[in-house]
């Protein structure tokens, strides 16, 4: 494994006011992630690409790699057997986190999940036998931190702060204006010659990887790596882990999706809501109009693609943020053992309501 110690020298997170100090097991800094991935023995570690800053984009995989098929999902959608794209004997799940460098809840969840798969306990020393047993039924791909560039300066957590405290990790232009959500999405990529302070949404080329999804114009190595991995592995499900504000939730499925996957996302959201003891049903007809990397992966593979938002600002025990995410992962794996996560033979057909 490459030595990234030179890149890791003198990395100092920017100070954000009103946040809580992390516990020792909240290992989300770049040297910690590199160290932990360097200890992987049971899984397979691959560096898929490098960020503009030279940091590695890791994938850690578990389970048997399935044989390649010389076809693509778009080609098979025009055939009589789109289900041929599916690996019928073992489904493949892709979990990824850290597209936005300040959103550490997904990163710590996946770093702890890797520890569970390797040692039987996470970095807290806690076992999760149901989750690891479920994972044994799948091919599992884990990309624990995609945007290492932004992680190099982003804080360890944002719990307790408000959006008014974000300025140290927001993009500031040379004219003094800050780019804030959602107006920051009006630039792609950022006009770097006009940027005085780069925000944590972006890699060092000013690309918001989440939105690097325009067909024929994917510009970041990170987005290209996600798409290639998803295609090469013929994934059935992708969970894109982000951080929201005060309540963990799945983002509404996008209008650019398949009817079968749309229904799956709503069903998994309902089952997970029941598991965590909250009512988070956003309605069978709810959808988002945003197009992003999830849509590109769905179009490339037919996989069900979901964005999970952790409760980043909510003040609660750090353990809660991981436990809720573990239950989300368990819900998806339980569902997939009962029926295909991506029912490719029916994806494009109108779905009947239950």
Cα–Cα distance for residue pair 169/335, rounded to 1 Å: 38
Per the listing, tokens 């990887």 go with: 209
CB within 8 Å of 136: residues ≥ 6 apart: 63
Q: Per residue in 65-99, pLDDT tens?
A: 887 778 899 998 888 888 888 877 899 999 999 99
260 and 348 in contact (C-beta within 8 Å)?
yes
Output the pLDDT for position 282.
59
Output the pLDDT for position 285.
60
Output the pLDDT for position 65.
86
Could you please report the per-residue DSSP string of 119-169? HSB-TTS-B-HHHHHHHTTSEEEEE--S-HHHHTTS-S--TT--GGG-GGG
Angle between helix 104-119 and 30-37 (nearest 10): 20
Greatest mean pLDDT range, 112-126, 263-277, 290-304: 112-126
Output the pLDDT for position 284.
58
Q: Per residue in 226-240, pLDDT tens?
A: 999 999 999 999 999
**Residue 286 reports pLDDT greater than 70:** no
Cα–Cα distance for residue pair 2/334, rounded to 1 Å: 37
The CA-CA-CA angle for residues 142, 148, 154, to 5°, reads: 120
Average pLDDT over residues 289-312: 92
- Compare 86 and 155 and report the one with higher pLDDT: 155
Flag whether the pTM goes above 0.85.
Answer: yes
């Amino acid at each position: 494994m490459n030595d990234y110690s030179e890149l890791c020298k003198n990395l100092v997170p920017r100070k954000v006011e009103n946040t809580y100090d992390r516990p020792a097991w909240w290992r989300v800094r770049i040297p910690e992630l590199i160290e932990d991935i360097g200890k992987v023995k049971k899984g397979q570690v691959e560096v898929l690409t490098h960020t503009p800053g030279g940091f590695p984009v890791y994938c850690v995989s578990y389970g048997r790699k399935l044989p390649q098929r010389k076809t693509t999902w778009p080609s098979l959608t025009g055939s009589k057997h789109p289900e041929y794209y599916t690996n019928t004997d073992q489904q493949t799940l892709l979990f990824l986190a850290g597209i936005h460098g300040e959103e550490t809840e997904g990163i710590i969840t996946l770093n702890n999940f890797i520890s569970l798969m390797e040692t039987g306990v996470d970095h807290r020393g806690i076992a999760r036998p149901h989750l690891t047993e479920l994972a044994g039924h799948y091919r599992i791909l884990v990309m624990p931190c995609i945007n290492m560039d932004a992680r190099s300066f982003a804080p360890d957590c944002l719990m307790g702060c408000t959006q008014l405290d974000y300025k140290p990790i927001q993009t500031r232009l040379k004219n003094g204006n800050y780019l804030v959500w959602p107006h920051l999405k009006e630039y792609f990529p950022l006009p770097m010659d006009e940027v005085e302070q780069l925000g944590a949404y972006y890699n060092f080329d000013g690309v918001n990887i989440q939105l690097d999804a325009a067909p024929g114009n994917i510009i970041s190595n990170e987005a290209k790596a996600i798409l290639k991995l998803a295609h090469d592995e013929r994934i059935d499900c992708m969970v894109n882990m982000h951080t929201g504000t005060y309540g963990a939730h799945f983002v509404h499925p996008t209008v650019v999706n398949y009817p079968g996957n749309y229904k799956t996302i709503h069903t998994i959201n309902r089952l997970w809501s029941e598991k965590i003891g909250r009512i988070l049903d956003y309605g069978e007809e709810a959808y988002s109009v945003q197009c992003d990397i999830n849509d590109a992966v769905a179009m490339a593979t037919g996989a069900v693609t979901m964005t999970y938002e952790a409760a980043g600002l909510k003040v609660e025990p750090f353990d809660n943020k991981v436990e809720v995410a573990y239950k989300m992962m368990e819900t998806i794996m339980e569902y997939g053992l009962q029926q295909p996560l991506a029912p490719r033979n029916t994806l494009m057909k109108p779905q009947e309501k239950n």
